[in-house]
Homo-oligomer: A and B are copies of this chain.
Amino acid sequence: MAKSKFEYVKQFEAEDRCLPNCWIVVRIDGKSFHRFADTHHFVKPNDDRSLNLMTKAAQSVIEDFKDIVLAYGQSDEYSFVFRKHTNMHNRRGSKLMTNLVSLFSSSFVYHWPRYFHTQPLQYPPAFDARIVLYPSDQNLKDYLSWRQADCHINNLYNTCFWKLVQEKGMSPALSQERLKGTLSSDKNEMLYTEFDLNYNNLPEMHRKGSLLLRRKQKASEDMNNSMSSQLSFGSQDFQENCRVRTQTIVLHCDIISEKFWTENPEILNSKK
């Protein structure tokens, strides 16, 4: 059988190497997640089971892709940031985004029972992924600020919307009408006066989203005590020198203000 006769078709594959010296960001996004949320009776406006499952899947990705320095997630999306000089998969964009979204998706299904317990998964969900390059540190920070600002805006809106629907019995259409054109300050005021709710007291995970970071530490330290708003996951990544272990930590903090970057300078200066 003449194999070689057909092999010319390999030449039709195009190269898609990412420009060097740029931050590589892969963002995954749930496909038709409105329907998925409805089918699986997600709690509104935020379903903690789903949010934690998303974060668990993101953690699987980070543990496998050693060159990811940070992940940020909210709602049905997660962004992954590779260190600037990664040479993983020779920086081929297709390889990076397809491998990543594949592992995220299979992890999401794999870990489903851990978060949804007896409620079965009705059908396999899908995510899409895109890859974006950011040349400067400021571009990268602005990208992450963009996603966190999006989280805030959507969460404030959704909190109001579902209060109107769930507690005032308004129809979705009426609630939407009521919120049309309101400013952030209007919505905060409404929550306070009409529902006796201080928005700032809502869980940080809902207001800020989730940030995954790697932390190297001596095995003797108890990492979990070192930062206030963090959740520690069990899986650890033991290194060649057993005294140092890398742990993925989860934060729900402000990443828009410069303070975060000043306090965590190693993220942008990450070496292999």
Contacts and interface: CB of A to CB of B under 8 A. Distances in A.
Contacts of A97: 94, 98
A103 B105 contact: yes
A154 to B, nearest CB: 10
Interface in A1-32: 1-3, 5-15, 17, 19-22, 28, 31
B132 A103 contact: no
Contacts of A8: 142
Interface residues of A, number: 66
B108 A106 contact: yes
Nearest to A108: B106
A126 B142 contact: no
B98 A129 contact: yes
A141 B136 CA distance: 16
Contacts of A145: 6
A43 interface: no
A127 B6 CA distance: 24
Nearest to A145: B6
Interface string A120-135: 0101111111111111
A53 interface: no
Contact of A101 (B13, B60, B101, B108): B101
Contact of A153 (B1, B11, B12, B95): B1
